[in-house]
Amino acid sequence: MASLALALMVVLPLAEIVLRRLFGFGIPGSIPFVQHLTLWVGFLGGALAARDGRLLALSTGTFIPEGRFRHAAQVFAATVGAAAAAVLARAAVALVVGEREFGTIIAAGIPAWVAQLVLPFGFGMVALRLVWRASRGWKGRTIAALGLAAGLAVAISPSVMEGMSVWPGLVVILIAAALGTPIFAVLGGVAVMLFMIEGTRPVAALISTYELAVNPTLPAIPLFTLAGFLLAEGDTPARLLRVFRGLFGWMPGSTAVVCAVVSAVFTVFTGGSGVTILALGGLLLPALLQDGYREKFSLGLLTASGSLGLLLPPALPLILYGIVAQTPIEELFIGGILPGLLLITLVGAWGMREGRRIKHPTTPFDAREAGRALWLGKWELLLPVIVVVSLFSGLATIVESAALAALYSFVVQVFIHRDLKIGRDFRRVFADCVSTVGGVLIILGVAVGLTAYLVDAQVPARLLEWTKAYITSPLVFLLALNLFLLVVGALMDIFSAIFVVVPLIVPMGQAFGINPVHLGIIFIANLELGYLTPPVGLNLFLSSYRFKKPMIEVSAAVLPMLAILGLGVLLITYVPWLTTGLLTLMGR
């Protein structure tokens, strides 16, 4: 069902492009249909992610030694997660009932409450999956089931929490987060708890969730992610590796430079470093080791390179930031080009230094080999050109450009290179994509509810007052922002951080006269650095899992890259021209 919804999300925008160009009109209701299909993909995908154990969580729970304590922590984390999911499921039922009474129509006579049915179903399935995965034995599952029942009881009678102190519940949730409770349950649990303590029904946390789901730009996220997953299959990584080796093989440290560039290209379209490290690690690490690079250096390089593309268009964090901060996405795309290339250049320069250190032999430039490699990889290299041209020429909206990217990737992989076969391969790619997207979108859905509470409680305004009282210089503000975002990036994935933190910092940026596009690039660059920050940076955990190395070893390997990229983030922060220069040249 989720894969079918994703397929329809591709077809409808493409049909809009064709009909609009040929006949001057589109499909009635196609835009709201695509928006609501995003809701289905997100929450059905969230249920699939819970089934497969792929819901995003902090990696701190992995520090607990195997045995009884690890098992107890796992059961506790699942119990709290199931309770939070149960409260959200019950709140979603109330949302559907209220919408049914209100009678909003999506299009073609289909009521909005039908689309919203996926919310209670998705949260309910996640709660059940968390109970099932709490333990291999029935004792642990029974404890988690009691948590689910407690959540339902509180959701049915939310008045029992009215006027209570927030601290006991907050402490329990934060401990559960450290032990491995999924991030969506942490953010959603905090949101509904705060609303109920204030005397508001938990459904208030999900009203904003539905408003987010029908955002006209949000469908671009699953569509670009699908394009990235299609590219990650088959021999596309090997083709790109050959292309960049053919072009840059003559440089000192060429293999390291190529690995950084290939990783950045993949991250642009997959939307997160996790897919890049997991998909390309098995190809790139052996290539580095075979060429004589030290294992420690190679681990650090690949761990850092996994998030290098997040500033380059059309990376998903740029899209999300634009949605939340109400900053033009096209300007964020342009503003991120030079900072993104700067970070890639810094990592590449470190790779060249390592190449000289190990006296890695270079190969003379071979025009014939470079030409053959470019010809073989021409279809993949055309994809970013197609996206940028379709978007900035006015031919397509950002969602339509994303659908075009997904279709193009499908055609290249299935009909041109024939790396994928329609059938088993196709179903697997769609399922993996939906599961990954669901794990992200379910976080966004509850994070926006927490943000709504923070706005209602005037937290941004109070934070702005405090900042103005103690910080008077824009330069000092930017330094404090860097340090704050570094911690946020280490503790929170970039997507949930955007929805929770951006509404807090945007008013402060305005107060200190920071260009809104510059602020957005600073934010994403810092979060990109946070992926590498010990002890809980997400890339550290993913590399440890992918390369089967202890977290301590990966953390030590990444320290030089952390320093290098930290320098890049400071340059991005304090040299605004890197972000605004191209915008100025283009008259924006």
Q: Quickly count: other Cβ atoms within 10 Å of residue 431's Cβ.
A: 17
3-class SS at 549? coil
**Distance separating alpha carbons of residues 517 and 547, to the nearest angstrom:** 36
Cα of first residue to Cα of last residue in the chain, in angstroms, is: 43
User: Looking at residue 497, what is its pLDDT?
Assistant: 83
Residue 393 pLDDT grade (very low, low, confident, very high; cuts 50, 70, 90) = confident
536 contact partners, CB below 8 Å, separation of at least 6 = 58, 59, 60, 490, 491
Query: 54-68, 318-332, 557-571, 574-588 — which is least confidently predicted?
Result: 54-68
**Distance separating alpha carbons of residues 272 and 231, to the nearest angstrom:** 14
Q: Locate tokens 């706005």: which residue? A: 455
Query: What six digits make up the tokens of 216?
Result: 């006209």
Query: What six digits make up the tokens of 556?
Result: 């030590």
DSSP assignments along 276-326, one per residue: HHHHHHHHHHHHHHHTT--HHHHHHHHHHHTTGGGGSTT-HHHHHHHHHHT
**Distance separating alpha carbons of residues 264 and 225, to the nearest angstrom:** 14
**Residue among 341, 340, 257 nearest 302 (CA):** 257
Specify which residues 105 forms β-bridges with.
111
User: Looking at residue 466, what is its pLDDT?
Assistant: 87
**Residue among 479, 485, 476 nearest 527 (CA):** 485
Instruction: Determine which helix (DSSP H) or strand (DSSP E) holds 287, and give its type and residue range.
Output: helix 273-290
Query: What six digits make up the tokens of 100?
Result: 């049914």
Q: For residues 199-219, give the mean pLDDT.
A: 84
**Residue among 172, 212, 84, 174 nearest 503 (CA):** 212
**Distance separating alpha carbons of residues 224 and 268, to the nearest angstrom:** 9
Percentages helix, strand, coil for the chain, rounded to the nearest 5? 80, 0, 20
**Residue among 445, 402, 399, 51 nearest 210 (CA):** 445
User: Looking at residue 514, what is its pLDDT?
Assistant: 95
Are the beta carbons of 84 and 185 closer than 8 angstroms? yes
Query: What six digits make up the tokens of 52?
Result: 């497969």
Calculate the CA 101 to chain-centre distance. 35
DSSP assignments along 76-129, one per residue: HHHHHHHHHHHHHHHHHHHHHHHHHHHT-EEETTEEHHHHHTHHHHHHHHHHHH
At residue 514, what is the residue type?
Answer: I
Q: For residues 515-533, give the mean pLDDT.
A: 92
Per domain, the residue ranges of the chain are 55-214, 221-420+457-585
User: Looking at residue 272, what is its pLDDT?
Assistant: 57
For 215-234, write each residue's pLDDT tens digit.
Answer: 778 888 888 888 888 887 77
Query: 1-15, 302-316, 354-368 — which is least confidently predicted?
Result: 354-368
Listed ranges 175-179, 219-223, 322-326, 576-580; the one with the highest mean pLDDT = 576-580
**Distance separating alpha carbons of residues 401 and 391, to the nearest angstrom:** 6
Query: 99-103, 168-172, 575-579 — which is least confidently predicted?
Result: 99-103
316 contact partners, CB below 8 Å, separation of at least 6 = 220, 221, 224, 225, 271, 272, 495
Radius of gyration in angstroms for the set of CA atoms belonging to the chain, rounded to a whole number: 24
Q: Is the pLDDT of residue 465 over 90?
A: no
User: Looking at residue 328, what is its pLDDT?
Assistant: 92
User: Looking at residue 270, what is its pLDDT?
Assistant: 65
For 10-58, write each residue's pLDDT tens digit.
Answer: 999 998 888 887 777 777 778 888 988 999 999 999 999 999 888 878 7
Query: What six digits make up the tokens of 4?
Result: 């079918």
Burial of 139 by CB count in 10 Å (0-12 exposed, 13-18 middle, 19+ buried)? Answer: exposed
Residue 171 pLDDT grade (very low, low, confident, very high; cuts 50, 70, 90) = very high
Q: Quickly count: other Cβ atoms within 10 Å of residue 360's Cβ.
A: 19
Listed ranges 236-240, 261-265, 356-360, 479-483; the one with the highest mean pLDDT = 479-483
For 507-519, write each residue's pLDDT tens digit.
Answer: 999 999 999 999 9
Cα distances (Å, whole numbers) of residue 364 to 251, 348, 357, 360? 9, 19, 19, 13
For 406-444, write each residue's pLDDT tens digit.
Answer: 999 999 998 999 888 887 777 888 888 888 888 878 888
Q: Locate tokens 């990217």: which residue? A: 405
Are the beta carbons of 524 and 318 closer than 8 angstroms? yes
403 contact partners, CB below 8 Å, separation of at least 6 = 9, 10, 11, 12, 13, 14, 223
For 303-341, write each residue's pLDDT tens digit.
Answer: 998 888 899 988 888 988 998 899 999 999 999 999 999
